[in-house]
Amino acid sequence: MLPDLSGSHILIVLIAALVFIGPKDLPKFLHKIGKFVGKMRGMANEFRASFDEMARQSELDELRKEVEAMRKASQNVIPQELSVDAAMKSDAEAAYLANWEASHATSTDSVQPEPSILPPSEPAPAPAKPKRAPRKAPKAEAEAAPAKPAPKPRAKKPKPEGEA
């Protein structure tokens, strides 16, 4: 930070400061120099912190871009799979409807149609939830807590004759 100053150079600077500034004002001058150096260090630390923050922010931006690219890639895969599933479902529904129409077109009252292998397009109803057992009625207060005995009366102490 400082140029190469030996002990003799520093001694010469101190003697010159003592002569030019004077022994009376030298402590005030050194105090001001100390404050100035402190402010410079604070500014350097702020600059370093802001530079580190900018570096972290750029790293975060890169990570965000990577995450967005991964999301877009996963979104491109899902619609393709869904379109394949939808095509398979529509083919299955068409085959089911064709089978149903064929079986009903040739059926008579006495002939039962063959069961279809494909499931119906309507979902099965959800199973009913089991009913809860009814809650028991709360016990009466007399049954819930036993009665407390009445407090015993305290005997009063006699006061000495001198007090009123």
Could you give the CA distance from residue 23 to residue 109 in angstroms, rounded to a whole number?
126
Could you give the CA distance from residue 11 to residue 26 in angstroms, rounded to a whole number?
15
pLDDT of residue 58: 87
Could you give the CA distance from residue 53 to residue 49 in angstroms, rounded to a whole number?
6
Stronger pLDDT, 49 or 98, i.e. the higher one: 49
Confidence category of residue 85, pLDDT binned at 50, 70, 90? low
pLDDT of residue 4: 77
Instruction: Report the 10 Å Cβ neighbour count for 142.
Output: 8
What are the residue ranges spanned by the domains of the chain?
Answer: 9-105
pLDDT of residue 117: 62
Average pLDDT, the chain: 75
**pTM, entire model:** 0.35
- 95: Cβ contacts below 8 Å, ≥ 6 apart: 118
Mean pLDDT of 44-67: 90
pLDDT of residue 137: 60
Contact 100, 116 (CB under 8 A): yes
Stronger pLDDT, 12 or 5, i.e. the higher one: 12
pLDDT of residue 125: 59
Q: Is the model's pLDDT at 147 over the cut of 80?
A: no
* Lowest-confidence pick of 49-58, 140-149, 154-163: 140-149
Confidence category of residue 6, pLDDT binned at 50, 70, 90? confident
Of the candidates 23, 96, 73, 28, the residue with the CA atom closest to the CA atom of residue 36: 28
Q: Is the model's pLDDT at 163 over the cut of 60?
A: no
Percent above pLDDT 90 for the chain = 15
pLDDT of residue 71: 86
